């Protein structure tokens, strides 16, 4: 096998602590090595020309570039090899800078290590095969599960690009929770005005297919060609879509599981969500005494919910301010742990509410005792450290967000994961906050954790633009490093099927072996590690290759 | 769709996300970064809350994606100086400052920096001036582009015309070019995304906290550099050569504060302080750690749990902001009213770290002026909650901290939304 080795000095970076001449001498005498070249900067134009010319000149079959880490210049070197007429997957990069010259000052040791590393590269490279990136076509359409503000925002965006959009909502009307809000902070309009505007637009578009009172019942396929079945009042509908956005929102926390709050037993205890419906025409008597309780269903270890619901402080402040402003001589007191008025304009709103005469008391509330003349609130003022009992005519519970009730069902159908609080788990909490581990499947809005309206809109539209980016060309490339099955060795034990996170392995009932759906395979290698018969491997990463690589690293030089 | 070209101003995580989304939708992107590398504030961070994963490790792959993406043209050391709306697009004049290093030749080997006579003599901005660098330098090892540059003020040859130019002799590929001049580039773009990011409040005016006057009082971002492996102490928490044992963190410095005309909450300081406390706990096992707060705003996913864990790790939270910090023989003394116990406490400490709040990036005012963008009372770009990236000018969109404080996850989502809105806009533009 004609192998060409290219050793970079990287200025002084490698040459300073690695004896390049000795490397050249050593490898020139090795079998299969056709040429050994060195250059101060392999990545510079003359360095690049050297590689390309040598491939042509000697008809090289493997190229070993010994320089910096593969994380740098990889595409450039791959293109170069391709231009030289060699399959780019026959290139091997060996890091003798980050992994060698930079790790120590001892030239002798570094040189020996460099020899081992390059040798391992040659051994591994000899197992390489020419690979091709495959192109598969994708369907330019999307399934959006959930017709709340997030799902509708996503649908509207995608529909405007001309894509076919299937919007599935289990209620009989679009709009989700925002539709129920009587006074949306900070824009201070009815939620309906926001949701109906978007809903009207969606209904008027030919490429939008809205299914209300409907739900997803089966799901399969792979990125670009997902197959879904939707149960609608008119019967089952089967669709094929390129990608999916899950936006099933949240469930409002149900305070009946905290019996000490008397919710459901005493009509004078209500939730912030119930207040929204009648918030514009409150019927409280003059001088009413109203208590607002923060963190109901949030930050509460006794019910196993540690998380903060993010929106309830603002909801509490808004409710308090409205009551204080509308009801003459009302006494409004808000009981909180920490006031989390972090949204834009929230802190000012909190201050203004205090200035309007709403009292904020840092407290922990133990129970509500219903008396006929009043509700007695019992708790402890955590600033003064003293217990109190205070009478109120109305107690408003600022309830938090519970995970959506269909979370498990959807997670099971789509094979996506829930987090420990039973919301959906994102691929990365910061940089991929609306992606899942599966390509083309996104989670938008509150189904991945509490968010306010603005954040939910951001999520919906951001995941939509990402999905559009994946589908807009109408095709996608599949990395060639996918699993393949040696049918003779496969015993049909199906352990790999269970290990596969991408759900790319399918069992062939007739032949009693497994098969890999290449379009779905992510090349993670979990199946490879699980297989007891060594029947499933990853293209480009054969076991024998890795064995040889290890031998090269440990044998005498 | 005809070729569309969008200008993204700012190369932080917001600009990077927006740029990459647009590129993936087939739009040509020009990204302007006023500094020598993209990465923004996030790349200055050691770790990120609440997962404590390494900031560089998550961000650098994105930065490299920008560099490799054929749809993205990256202009560093560049700022827009004139923007005029022509039809539905924008004619933009860009000032590009000289790098004095030819990027197609520079291999980032670093020999020039070693040879520079100013080596170790110039305060390094990337390290909040806590470390020193040469006049020819790369701001941090993972910079994108991976190219050196010459700081025109620090370089003796550029600023005074006299230097032996050892860098030129040291440079193998002959990349240094002192003849490079400032360039003015004029281009037409179909839309603009503004993502200039933020600056941090300068706490010098808060005399009672002693920043700038007392040794041992530093800001959160400075502490971040002290913790970072790419920082001046290679990640060892050391101040003036000593390893501090007693730490005092103060939250809401320049946030929720009428005195500094910042009534708003900066949204990230509670959590970055908890993160700092965790880093200290991890690296200095016997450290004494106090945190002063008003409210702990652990509102994001996993934040509350992170806050609890921080407390469980033996970090003491005191409700109340110190009124005074004074010097003692042995360090610093913090006087604070503990609102929970009602008593005045005096706590001795070696180091005080101020969780300084968010301010609009210093360039935002000028940027808004040339684009006629409306700003709010604090200087952030004005938006509304229903269309969170839309500005008062049709065709100009905003994301990230430019429109108000956001954490990284929220910045990423807002950048995606800005890209979406921008896509909707350019699809209806008539090409000229």
Provide the shortest C-alpha distance from residue B62 to chain A (in Å). 9
Q: CA of B207: how far to CAs of A541, B74, B203, B328, B356, in Å? A: 62, 42, 8, 17, 14
The domain tally of chain A equals 4
User: Residues B160-190: pLDDT tens digits?
Assistant: 999 999 999 999 889 999 999 999 999 999 9
User: Residues A170-220: pLDDT tens digits?
Assistant: 999 999 999 999 999 999 999 999 999 999 999 999 999 999 999 999 999
Examine the domain organization and report whether A18 and A65 are in the same domain: yes
Examine the domain organization and report whether A440 and A492 are in the same domain: no
Q: Report the candidate in A175, A157, A148, A193 with the shortest Cα–Cα distance to residue A446.
A: A148
Chain B residues within 8 A of A75 when measuring between CB atoms: 68
Strand partners, B354: B219, B250
pLDDT at B2 over 70: no
Examine the domain organization and report whether A443 and A357 are in the same domain: no
Q: Cβ distance A63 to A4 under 8 Å? A: yes
Average pLDDT, chain A: 94
Q: Give the nearest chain A residue to B308 (CA atoms).
A: A306
Task: Report pLDDT for B432.
Answer: 37
Chain B residues within 8 A of A423 when measuring between CB atoms: 301
What is the spatial distance between Cα B151 and Cα B154, in angstroms, rounded to a whole number?
Answer: 5
**Position A556 in a domain:** no
User: Out of B17, B25, B263, whose CB is closest to A472?
Assistant: B25
Q: Cβ distance A467 to A246 under 8 Å? A: no
Examine the domain organization and report whether A91 and A122 are in the same domain: yes
| CB contact (8 A) between residue A469 and residue B421 | no
Q: Tokens 């039973």 label which residue?
A: A422
CA atoms within 13 A on the CB side of A65: 32
| CB contact (8 A) between residue A310 and residue B146 | no
Q: Cβ distance A313 to A340 under 8 Å? A: yes
Task: Report pLDDT for B57.
Answer: 81
What CATH number does residue A526 fall under? 3.30.70.20
Which spans in A295-406 are helix H? 312-326, 346-355
Tally DSSP H helices, then E strands, for chain A: 15, 27
Question: What ipTM score was computed for the predicted complex, to two decimals?
Answer: 0.93
The band of A519, judged by pLDDT with boundaries at 50, 70 and 90, is: confident
User: Residues A211-242: pLDDT tens digits?
Assistant: 999 999 999 988 999 999 999 999 999 999 99
**Position A203 in a domain:** yes
| CB contact (8 A) between residue B388 and residue A454 | yes
CATH class of B201-358: alpha beta
pLDDT at A150 over 50: yes
User: Out of A41, A186, A472, whose CB is closest to B385?
Assistant: A186
Residues 160-189 of A with CB under 8 A from B: 160-161, 186-187
The band of B428, judged by pLDDT with boundaries at 50, 70 and 90, is: low
What residues have CB less than 8 Å from A283, skipping those under 6 apart?
none
When pLDDT is averaged across residues B65-89 and rounded to a whole number, the result is 95
Q: Give the nearest chain B residue to A420 (CA atoms).
A: B302
Task: Report pLDDT for A280.
Answer: 61
Query: Pick from A82, A113, A131: which residue ends a domain?
Result: A131
Q: Give the nearest chain B residue to A191 (CA atoms).
A: B386
Examine the domain organization and report whether A66 and A17 are in the same domain: yes
Examine the domain organization and report whether A63 and A51 are in the same domain: yes
Find the domain containing A534 and state its range.
479-539
Q: Which of A43-47, A172-176, B256-260, B318-322 has the lowest mean pLDDT?
A: A43-47
pLDDT at A358 over 80: yes
Tokens of A234: 């008119």
When pLDDT is averaged across residues B383-391 and rounded to a whole number, the result is 94
User: Residues A254-271: pLDDT tens digits?
Assistant: 999 999 999 999 999 999
| CB contact (8 A) between residue B427 and residue A160 | yes
- Residue of B383 and A41 predicted with greater confidence: B383
**Position A546 in a domain:** no
Q: Cβ distance A237 to A229 under 8 Å? A: yes
Examine the domain organization and report whether A84 and A193 are in the same domain: no
User: Residues A83-115: pLDDT tens digits?
Assistant: 999 999 999 999 999 899 988 889 999 999 999
Task: Report pLDDT for A13.
Answer: 83
Domain residues of chain B, as ranges? 5-96+182-197+361-426, 111-170, 201-358
User: Out of B265, B386, B403, whose CB is closest to A341?
Assistant: B265
Q: CA of B309: how far to CAs of A306, B210, B274, B320, in Å? A: 11, 30, 9, 21
Percent of chain A predicted with pLDDT > 70: 99
Domains B5-96+182-197+361-426 and B201-358 belong to one CATH topology = yes
What is the spatial distance between Cα A455 and Cα B404, in angstroms, rounded to a whole number?
Answer: 13
**Fold for the domain defined by B5-96+182-197+361-426:** FAD/NAD(P)-binding domain (3.50.50)
User: Out of A419, A429, A453, whose CB is closest to B409?
Assistant: A429
| CB contact (8 A) between residue B304 and residue A299 | yes
Tokens of A322: 């409205």
- β-pairing, A375-381 vs A359-370, is antiparallel
User: Residues B323-382: pLDDT tens digits?
Assistant: 999 999 999 999 999 999 899 999 999 999 999 999 999 999 999 999 999 999 999 999
Examine the domain organization and report whether A454 and A365 are in the same domain: no
What CATH number does residue A95 fall under? 3.40.50
Provide the shortest C-alpha distance from residue B56 to chain A (in Å). 12
What CATH number does residue A471 fall under? 3.50.50.60
Q: Cβ distance B113 to B138 under 8 Å? A: yes
Residues 195-254 of A with CB under 8 A from B: none
Interface probe with A: pick from B341, B409, B424, most Cβ of A within 10 Å: B409
Straight-line distance from the first to the last Cα atom of chain A, in angstroms, rounded to the nearest whole number: 21
Examine the domain organization and report whether A362 and A439 are in the same domain: no
Q: Give the nearest chain A residue to B18 (CA atoms).
A: A462
DSSP state of A403: P
What is the spatial distance between Cα A438 and Cα A436, in angstroms, rounded to a whole number?
Answer: 5
What is the spatial distance between Cα A207 and Cα A161, in angstroms, rounded to a whole number?
Answer: 10
Q: Tokens 């978007």 label which residue?
A: A198
Examine the domain organization and report whether A465 and A483 are in the same domain: no
Average pLDDT, chain B: 95
Chain A residues within 8 A of B412 when measuring between CB atoms: 430-433, 462
Q: Report the candidate in A513, A515, A536 with the shortest Cα–Cα distance to residue A525.
A: A536
When pLDDT is averaged across residues A322-336 and rounded to a whole number, the result is 96
SS3 label, residue B46? coil
DSSP state of A141: E
Q: How far is CA A367 from the centre of its chain?
A: 40
pLDDT at B50 over 90: yes
When pLDDT is averaged across residues A39-59 and rounded to a whole number, the result is 90
Q: Cβ distance A219 to A118 under 8 Å? A: no
What is the spatial distance between Cα B154 and Cα B169, in angstroms, rounded to a whole number?
Answer: 19
Q: Give the nearest chain B residue to A337 (CA atoms).
A: B295
pLDDT at B430 over 50: no
Interface probe with A: pick from B397, B416, B424, B427, most Cβ of A within 10 Å: B416
Chain B residues within 8 A of A458 when measuring between CB atoms: 388-389, 410, 413-414, 416-417
**Position A511 in a domain:** yes
Kindly calculate the radius of gyration of chain A based on its CA atoms and give it in whole angstroms: 32
What is the spatial distance between Cα A322 and Cα A270, in angstroms, rounded to a whole number?
Answer: 15
**Position A407 in a domain:** yes
Please report the beta strands in B149-256, taking only residues with DSSP state E, as ranges in sequence order.
149-150, 183-189, 191-194, 198-200, 217-219, 246-253
Task: Report pLDDT for B431.
Answer: 40
Examine the domain organization and report whether A390 and A262 are in the same domain: yes
pLDDT at B429 over 80: no
Task: Report pLDDT for B380.
Answer: 98
Angle at CA of residue A76, ends A72 and A78, nearest 5°: 105
Examine the domain organization and report whether A383 and A259 are in the same domain: yes
Residue A11 touches partner B, C-beta closer than 8 Å: yes
């Amino acid at each position: 096998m004609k192998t060409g080795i290219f050793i970079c000095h990287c200025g002084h970076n490698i040459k300073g602590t690695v004896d390049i001449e000795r490397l050249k001498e050593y490898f020139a005498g090795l079998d299969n090595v056709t040429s050994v070249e060195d250059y101060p900067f392999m990545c510079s134009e003359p360095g690049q020309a050297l590689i390309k010319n040598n491939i042509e000149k000697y008809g090289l079959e493997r190229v070993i570039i010994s320089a910096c880490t593969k994380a740098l210049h990889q595409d450039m070197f791959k293109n170069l090899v391709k231009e030289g007429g060699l399959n780019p997957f026959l290139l091997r990069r060996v890091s003798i800078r980050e992994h060698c010259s930079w790790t120590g000052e001892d030239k002798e040791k570094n040189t020996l290590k460099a020899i081992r590393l390059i040798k391992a590269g040659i051994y591994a490279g000899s197992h390489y095969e020419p690979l091709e990136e495959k192109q598969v076509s994708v369907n330019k359409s999307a399934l959006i599960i959930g017709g709340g503000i997030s799902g509708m925002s996503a649908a509207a965006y995608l529909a405007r690009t001309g894509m076919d959009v299937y919007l599935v909502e289990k209620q009989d009307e679009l709009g989700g929770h925002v539709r129920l809000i009587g006074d949306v902070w900070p824009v201070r309009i009815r939620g309906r005005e926001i949701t109906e505007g978007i809903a009207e637009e969606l209904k008027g578009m030919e490429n939008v297919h809205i299914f209300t009172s409907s739900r997803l019942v089966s799901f399969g396929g792979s990125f670009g060609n997902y197959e879904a079945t939707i149960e609608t009042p008119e019967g089952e509908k089967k669709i094929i879509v390129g990608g999916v956005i899950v936006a099933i929102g949240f469930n409002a926390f149900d305070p009946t599981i905290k019996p000490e709050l008397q919710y459901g037993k005493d009509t004078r205890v209500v939730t912030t969500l119930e207040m929204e419906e009648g918030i514009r025409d409150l019927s409280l008597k003059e001088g009413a005494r109203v208590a607002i309780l923060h963190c109901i269903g949030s930050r509460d270890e006794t019910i196993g919910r540690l998380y903060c619901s993010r929106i309830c402080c603002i909801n509490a402040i808004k409710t308090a301010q409205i009551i204080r402003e509308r009801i003459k001589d009302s006494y409004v007191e808000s009981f909180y742990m920490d006031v989390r008025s972090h949204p834009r304009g929230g802190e000012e709103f909190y201050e203004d509410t205090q200035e309007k005469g709403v009292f904020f008391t840092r407290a922990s509330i133990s129970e509500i005792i219903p008396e006929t003349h009043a509700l007695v609130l019992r708790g402890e003022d955590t600033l003064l450290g003293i217990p109190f009992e205070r009478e109120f005519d109305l107690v408003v519970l600022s309830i938090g967000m519970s995970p959506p009730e269909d979370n498990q069902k959807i997670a099971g159908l789509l094979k996506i994961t829930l987090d420990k609080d039973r919301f959906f788990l994102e691929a990365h909490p910061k940089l991929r906050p609306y992606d899942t581990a599966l390509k083309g499947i996104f989670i938008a809005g509150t189904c991945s954790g509490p968010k306010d309206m603005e954040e939910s809109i951001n999520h919906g539209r951001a995941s939509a633009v990402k999905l559009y980016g994946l589908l807009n060309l109408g095709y996608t490339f599949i990395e060639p490093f996918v699993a393949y099955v040696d049918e003779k060795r496969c015993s049909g034990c199906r352990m790999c099927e269970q290990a596969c996170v991408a759900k790319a392995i399918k069992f062939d009932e007739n032949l009693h072996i497994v098969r890999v759906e290449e379009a779905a395979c992510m090349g993670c290698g979990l199946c490879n590690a699980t297989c007891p018969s060594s029947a499933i491997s990853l293209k480009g990463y054969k076991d024998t290759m890795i064995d040889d690589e290890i031998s090269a690293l440990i044998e005498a030089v | 769709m005809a070729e569309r070209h969008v200008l993204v101003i700012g190369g932080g995580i917001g600009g990077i996300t927006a740029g990459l989304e647009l590129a993936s939708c087939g739009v040509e992107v020009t990204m302007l970064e006023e500094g020598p590398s993209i990465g923004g504030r996030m790349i200055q961070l050691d770790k990120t809350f609440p997962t404590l994963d390494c900031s560089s490790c998550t961000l650098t792959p994105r930065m490299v994606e920008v560099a490799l993406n054929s749809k993205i043209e990256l202009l560093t050391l560049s700022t827009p100086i004139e923007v005029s709306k022509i039809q539905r697009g924008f004619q933009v004049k860009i000032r590009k400052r000289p790098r004095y290093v030819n990027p197609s030749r520079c291999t980032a080997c670093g020999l020039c920096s070693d040879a520079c006579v100013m080596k170790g003599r110039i305060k390094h901005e990337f390290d909040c001036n806590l470390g020193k660098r040469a006049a020819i330098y790369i701001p941090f090892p993972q910079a994108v582009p991976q190219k050196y540059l010459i700081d025109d003020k620090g370089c003796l040859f550029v600023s005074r015309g006299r230097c032996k130019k050892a860098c030129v002799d040291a440079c193998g590929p002959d990349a240094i070019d002192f003849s490079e001049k400032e360039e003015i580039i004029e281009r037409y773009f179909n839309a603009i995304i503004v993502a200039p990011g933020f600056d941090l409040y300068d706490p010098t005016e808060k005399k009672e906290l002693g920043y700038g006057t007392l040794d041992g009082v530093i800001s959160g971002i400075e502490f971040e550099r002290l913790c970072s492996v790419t920082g001046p102490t290679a990640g060892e928490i050391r101040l003036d050569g000593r390893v501090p044992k007693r730490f005092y963190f103060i939250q809401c410095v320049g946030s929720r504060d009428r005195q500094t005309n910042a009534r708003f909450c900066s949204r990230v300081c509670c959590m970055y302080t908890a993160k700092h406390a965790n880093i200290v706990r991890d690296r200095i096992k016997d450290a004494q750690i106090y945190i002063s707060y008003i409210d702990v705003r652990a509102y994001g996913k996993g934040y509350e749990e992170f806050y609890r864990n921080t407390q469980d790790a033996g970090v003491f939270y005191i409700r109340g902001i110190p009124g005074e910090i004074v010097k003692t023989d042995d360090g610093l003394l913090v006087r604070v009213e503990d609102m929970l116990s009602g008593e005045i406490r005096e706590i001795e400490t070696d180091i005080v770290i101020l969780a300084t709040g968010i301010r609009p990036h210093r360039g935002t005012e000028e940027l808004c002026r040339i684009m006629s963008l409306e700003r709010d009372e604090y200087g952030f770009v004005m938006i509304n909650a229903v269309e969170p990236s839309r500005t008062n000018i049709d065709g100009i969109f905003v994301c990230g901290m430019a429109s108000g404080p956001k954490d990284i996850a929220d910045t990423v989502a807002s950048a995606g939304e800005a890209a979406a809105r921008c896509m909707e806009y350019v699809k209806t533009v008539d090409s000229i």
